[in-house]
């Protein structure tokens, strides 16, 4: 199965030059992106980056007076109040906390009925769709008629996803779907999302600070301080790093800052990341050509390497590098502003 087989050229979400301003706080700055039908988009950024705010604009939760720019969701603009019912019919939303869209005292099937009664769907159809979704999501049949409160955490999460999809929306928004989920179960949630996307061709927005989620994303958006730093295929982003994203991982005895300063002097090294107590990852220009020179350099400097291996950078590393770069740029700008002020006074 081709990974991108469900994607078509139809544009589902089009955001152009979005700015969100609450009073004196300019929260989102000139954000633009386009999303095609069937794509899975990951919205990444540390807490406070503006992820939820952007999604709130797309899901008709922020009044037009607080934002400007052009936004189209399934071809309709949330700027017009009269479009809201249609947009809300075309999208689904899975909140971070399942308790916000589930009634724990009701059974999963009864939860579905409550939800679909608001969409005027008939009971029989509802039941059929629910069973299909529950089956895709491996929600055991013996839980369907028992109270939701007796389900496991993972089952509740999957039920919450089923509820978000019950009216077959074109676009599904999920807020932090893996936050608070056991590390061992996080990937399960992601693979269920991918499975749903493949079966239903639903376009998905995953808001998250869990960088593992990039594994299932067709496009990843990186936000920092309300600015969109990147919006692209994560593999493309990784290969934009030096040597197409090849990383040299070194394990070194008694690794310390002094050693790192020495290694930094090897000119082809573009980036050094300390990723463990005794582990460094290096991004090196012209990896193949410079590898033997680097080994010789380490030997000459008396640096003992315990192990060395090459790998492709993960999205986590790309994110780290990109955010660092932005921070450096900002502090340089700040320094030059301070220097300019010094000149004037
Ligand atoms: N209604 C609001 N009024 C003023 N500031 C807000 C409002 N909503 C969010 N913010 C601020 O906008 C920034 C981005 O928030 P948010 O979009 O929730 O970030 P994220 O989802 O990436 O954690 C935060 O600094 C937050 O305090
Ligand atoms: Mg948020």
Q: Indicate which residue's Cα is closest to atom 16 of ligand 1.
A: 50
In angstroms, how far apart are the furthest CA atoms of the chain?
Answer: 77
- Which residue among 28, 29, 44, 50 is best mutated to probe the pocket of ligand 1, counting the most ligand atoms within 8 A of its Cβ? 50
- Pair (150, 254) in one structural domain: no
Distance of alpha carbon 41 from alpha carbon 333, whole angstroms = 31
76 CA distance to ligand 2 centroid (A)? 24
Residue-wise pLDDT tens digits, 23-73 = 999 999 999 999 999 999 999 999 899 999 999 999 999 999 999 999 999
Q: Indicate which residue's Cα is closest to atom 26 of ligand 1.
A: 48
- Pair (40, 154) in one structural domain: yes
Q: Which atom of ligand 1 is nearest to the CA of 20?
A: 12
- Pair (131, 270) in one structural domain: no
- Pair (228, 248) in one structural domain: no
- Pair (227, 265) in one structural domain: no
113 CA distance to ligand 1 centroid (A)? 34
Residue-wise pLDDT tens digits, 139-174 = 999 999 999 999 998 899 999 999 999 999 999 999
Residue 254 lies in a domain: yes
Binning pLDDT at 50, 70 and 90, where does residue 77 land? Answer: very high
- Pair (275, 214) in one structural domain: no
Residue 211 lies in a domain: yes
Looking at the chain, the whole-number percentage of residues with pLDDT higher than 70 is 97
Mean of per-residue pLDDT scores for the chain: 92
Residue 342 lies in a domain: no
CA distances from 100 to 70, 151, 183, 236 (A): 30, 16, 23, 37
Would you state the pLDDT for residue 2?
Answer: 45
- Pair (226, 274) in one structural domain: no
Distance of alpha carbon 308 from alpha carbon 281, whole angstroms = 10
225 CA distance to ligand 1 centroid (A)? 10
- Pair (180, 232) in one structural domain: yes
SS (H, E, C) 159-203: HHHHHHHCCCCCEEEEECCCCCCCHHHHHHHHHHHHHHHHHHCCE
- Pair (74, 186) in one structural domain: yes
- Pair (247, 219) in one structural domain: no
Residue 48 lies in a domain: yes
Ligand nearest to the CA of 67: 1
Residue found under tokens 């269920």: 192
- Pair (118, 49) in one structural domain: yes
- Pair (100, 199) in one structural domain: yes
- Which residue among 19, 26, 27, 177 is best mutated to probe the pocket of ligand 1, counting the most ligand atoms within 8 A of its Cβ? 27
- Residue 280: which of 299, 305, 297 has the closest Cα? 305
Residue 255 lies in a domain: yes
Question: Which residues does residue 172 pair with via DSSP β-bridges, in sequence order?
Answer: 92, 204
Q: Please count the structural domains in the chain.
A: 2
Distance of alpha carbon 309 from alpha carbon 288, whole angstroms = 13
Q: Indicate which residue's Cα is closest to atom 4 of ligand 1.
A: 22
184 CA to centre of own chain: 19
27 CA distance to ligand 1 centroid (A)? 7
Residue 275 lies in a domain: yes
Return the CATH number at 125. Answer: 3.40.50.300
CA distances from 15 to 26, 72, 77, 209 (A): 17, 6, 10, 21
Q: Which two tokens stand for residue 291?
A: 């590898």
Enumerate residues lining ligand 1, CB below 6 A. Answer: 22, 25, 27, 45, 47-53
For ligand 2, a single-atom ion, the residues with CB < 5 A are 51-52
Return the CATH number at 263. Answer: 3.30.70.100
Q: Which atom of ligand 1 is nearest to the CA of 45?
A: 22
- Which residue among 21, 29, 53 is best mutated to probe the pocket of ligand 1, counting the most ligand atoms within 8 A of its Cβ? 53
184 CA distance to ligand 1 centroid (A)? 30
Residue-wise pLDDT tens digits, 307-332 = 999 999 999 999 999 999 999 898 88
pTM recorded for the entire structure: 0.90
Residue 298: domain span? 242-312
């Amino acid at each position: 199965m081709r990974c991108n087989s469900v994607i078509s050229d139809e544009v589902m979400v089009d955001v152009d030059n979005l700015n969100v301003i609450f009073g004196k706080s300019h929260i989102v700055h000139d954000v633009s992106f386009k999303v095609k039908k069937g794509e899975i988009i990951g919205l990444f950024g540390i807490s406070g980056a503006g992820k939820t705010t952007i999604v709130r604009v797309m899901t008709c939760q922020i009044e037009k007076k607080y934002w400007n720019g052009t936004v189209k969701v399934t071809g309709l603009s949330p700027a017009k109040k009269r479009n809201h019912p249609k947009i809300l019919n075309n999208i689904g939303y899975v909140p971070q906390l399942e308790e916000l869209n589930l009634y724990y005292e009701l059974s999963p099937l009864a939860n579905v009925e409550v939800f679909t009664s608001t969409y005027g769907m008939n009971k029989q159809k509802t039941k059929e769709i629910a069973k299909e979704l529950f089956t895709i999501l491996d929600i055991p049949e013996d839980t369907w008629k028992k109270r939701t409160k007796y389900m496991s955490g993972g089952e509740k999460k999957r039920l919450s996803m089923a509820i978000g999809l019950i009216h077959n929306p074109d676009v599904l928004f999920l807020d932090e779907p893996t936050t608070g989920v056991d590390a061992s179960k996080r990937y399960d949630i992601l693979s269920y999302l991918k499975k749903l996307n493949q079966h239903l061709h639903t376009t998905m927005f995953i808001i998250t600070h869990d960088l593992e989620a990039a594994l299932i994303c067709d496009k990843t958006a990186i936000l920092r301080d309300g600015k969109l730093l990147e919006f692209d295929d994560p593999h493309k982003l990784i290969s934009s790093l030096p040597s197409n994203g090849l990383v040299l991982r070194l394990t070194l005895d008694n690794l310390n800052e002094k050693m790192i300063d020495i290694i930094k002097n090897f000119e082809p090294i573009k980036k050094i990341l300390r990723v463990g107590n005794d582990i460094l990852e290096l991004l090196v220009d012209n990896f193949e050509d410079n590898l033997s020179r680097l080994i010789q350099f380490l030997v000459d400097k008396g640096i003992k390497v315990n192990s060395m291996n090459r790998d492709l950078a993960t999205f986590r590393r790309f994110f780290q590098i990109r955010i660092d770069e932005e921070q450096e740029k900002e502090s340089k700008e700040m320094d030059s502003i301070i220097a300019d002020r010094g000149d004037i006074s």
